[in-house]
Amino acid sequence: MKINEYQKLAMRTASKESKEDLLLNGALGLSGETEEVADYIKKYLFQGHSLKEEDLIEELGDICWYIAIMAEGLGVDLESVMEGNIDKLRTRYPQGFDRERSINHNIGDGSNFPKV
């Protein structure tokens, strides 16, 4: 499946009432889903639970869904969002990850991302 195809398919199950609804639903949903991922990892690392990879994979899918509807609310396709992120990382780390550049990087103004 292509990235932008995923976004279109995700929209089948999204509340499409308004741009604001998509943004708010996406932001709140991302917050909840990332908390679930953090809780799985916390329980695995600190409470002796087994790592349930299938559960984490399912949560990652939920996170993708919320990212897709937020992108839709912003009027941008996921491929453009991802390309902008890679461009930013190439600028920040031209030779690949570097600890010193990570510590001292100057967060850009987002100019590598598509304008909406």
pLDDT at 109: 46
Q: Two tokens at 83?
A: 């390309």
pTM of the model: 0.82
Give, for all 116 residues of the chain, the pLDDT tens digit. 999 999 999 999 998 779 999 999 999 999 999 999 999 999 999 999 999 999 999 999 999 999 999 999 999 999 999 999 999 999 888 888 888 888 876 655 455 555 55
pLDDT at 112: 53
Nearest to residue 44, comparing CAs of 32, 56, 27, 26?
56
pLDDT at 100: 83
